[in-house]
Amino acid sequence: MSVQGFWGLQLVPGKTYSQVVSAPFRITMASLAADAEAGKRTSVSVLVDEKEFVLCTLVPNKIEQQPLDITFVEGEEVTFSAKGQNNIHLTGNYVFQDDEDDEMGASMIDSDEEDNVEDFLKKLPPNASKEDINKALLGLEVDEEIESDEEVESDEEIESDEEIESEEEEEEPVPVSKKRPAEEVKEIASKKQKAEKKEQPKKEKSKKEEPKKEEPKKEQPKKEEPKKKEEPKKKEEPKKKEEPKKKEEPKKKEEPKKKEEPKKKEEPKKKITKLPNGLIIEDIKMGEGASCKNGQRVGMRYIGKLTNGKVFDKNVSGKPFSFLLGRGEVIKGWDLGIAGMKAGGERKLTIPAPLAYGKRGAPPDIPKNATLVFDVKLLSMK
């Protein structure tokens, strides 16, 4: 059963509206604004995969509305625009699955996964190291086979990927390894503090490097001043008048406001998006290159926490955690929250219980109906 919420966008001629779809939506109607000028035709266009398509053309008193049926899915990058003289209103609705159905399906999958993990751990040798256990749980050997298969583009690749996906759904704890001792939780917290300390000097260096670009601008007028001094060498009075100019020069150095302006410019980069299903996406750092889409294999670093700050899982070193985006290999909050990221990008995901582990939780680390907070970074995508 799907749940539908209202979606709308007002297009102004001469402007474009771009976004990476984080929640699927459907456009059902395009209409002229109430103040449309008579005789002025306006066309509505959409840019998808660097190709532009005209959705409809509206003319006052002739064609003022046009029914549409166009759906955009998660991960697509779209740009809307209007060409003409009149404003256009696009309306439709979001389309996403009912939370209750997702919880029932997730709980059934979780119970099967827990049984499989417990049976698998019993088969491991008693002297197995933590690294061996983690590799076994994350199915790293299966990932390596998938990556080698992806290099060969053939019909057999699709069939092998589907088989591997079904095996990963049964064996991988999505995406968190649940059975960790209390000592590892302490190690996670200490490593996180060290990582934060390392990031602080990097930010300070970037701030110090920015004002260096402004210093050459202050040195330029100093070269011009000696020219003025050379002209009136015979007169003693101009020298006295030029002295206060030297005193005024420190005022340029005392302008910290210009140095603080980059801080204000950096703040808008942290975009916060809240979806109707309760998922909150905060862009900490924008990456570079193309945006990741459903079906691509992504490599991630992450730190998972409860709302009280307790860390229950992480991947900050070694081989990145990888999975196929949008295929249900991880919790739904990850599939929705990571879509649209670029390589090197960082996000903070606040995931409500229905999009994580629901009413059951993942004992003993994740309680029932728990809201989870993930700091994620996209390292690679294929």
> Domain check: are 234 and 181 in the same one?
no
pLDDT in tens, 333-350: 999 999 999 999 999 999
Please tell me the distance from the alpha carbon of residue 318 to that of residue 334, in angstroms, as a whole number: 21
> Are 37 and 88 contained in the same domain?
yes
132 is known as an active-site residue = no
Q: Which of 335, 357, 365, 366 is catalytic?
A: 357
Indicate if 302 belongs to the active site. Answer: yes
286 and 377 together in one domain: yes
Catalytic residue among 25, 80, 96, 312, which?
A: 312
| Cβ(358)–Cβ(103) below 8 Å | yes
**One domain, residues 278 and 337:** yes
Beta bridge partners of 282: 272, 348
Q: Domain check: are 86 and 131 in the same one?
A: no
Catalytic residue from among 188, 366, 374, 375: 374
Whether residue 200 lies inside any domain: the answer is no
Strands (E) in the chain, as ranges, are 2-11, 16-20, 25-32, 42-48, 51-58, 65-72, 77-83, 88-97, 272-274, 280-285, 288-291, 297-306, 311-315, 321-324, 342-343, 346-351, 372-381
| Amino acid letter, residue 373 | V
Q: Which of 55, 75, 97 is the last residue of a domain?
A: 97
Q: Does the annotation mark 313 as catalytic?
A: yes
Q: Which of 79, 97, 115 is the last residue of a domain?
A: 97
- Structural domain tally of the chain? 3
* Per annotation, catalytic residue among 110, 143, 313, 335: 313
Given the residues 302, 338, 365, 366, the one annotated as active site: 302
Domain extent at residue 92: 2-97
Q: Radius of gyration (Cα) for the chain, nearest Å?
A: 29
The verdict on 88 and 114 lying in the same domain is no
Q: What is the CATH number of the domain that holds 305?
A: 3.10.50.40
- Looking at residues 109-138, what average pLDDT do you find? 63
284: buried, middle or exposed (CB in 10 Å: 19+, 13-18, 0-12)?
middle
Whether 365 and 278 map to the same domain: the answer is yes
Q: Which of 97, 118, 142 is the last residue of a domain?
A: 97
Residue 138 pLDDT greater than 90, yes or no = no
Is position 359 within any domain?
A: yes
Task: Give the confidence band of 47 by pLDDT, cuts at 50, 70, 90.
Answer: very high
Q: Is 25 a catalytic residue?
A: no
CA atoms within 13 A on the CB side of 340: 22
Q: Which of 32-41, 66-75, 217-226 has the lowest mean pLDDT?
A: 217-226
Residue 380: the pLDDT is 93
80 carries an active-site annotation = no
- Could you tell me if 44 and 24 lie in one domain? yes
Give a yes or no: residue 205 inside a domain. Answer: no
pLDDT per residue as tens digits for the range 256-283: 555 555 555 555 557 888 888 899 999 9
Examine residue 358 and state whether it is found in any structural domain, yes or no: yes
The reply to whether 225 and 343 lie within a common domain is: no
**Is 321 marked active-site?**
no
Q: Are residues 11 and 84 in the same domain?
A: yes
Domain shared by 185 and 329, yes or no: yes
What is the separation of C-alpha 337 from the centre of its chain, rounded to a whole number of angstroms? 7
The predicted-structure confidence for 189-216, as pLDDT tens digits, reads as follows 455 555 555 555 444 444 444 444 444 4
Percentage, residues of the chain above pLDDT 90: 40
In terms of Cα–Cα distance, which of 375, 303, 315, 373 is closest to 135? 315
Mean pLDDT of the chain: 73
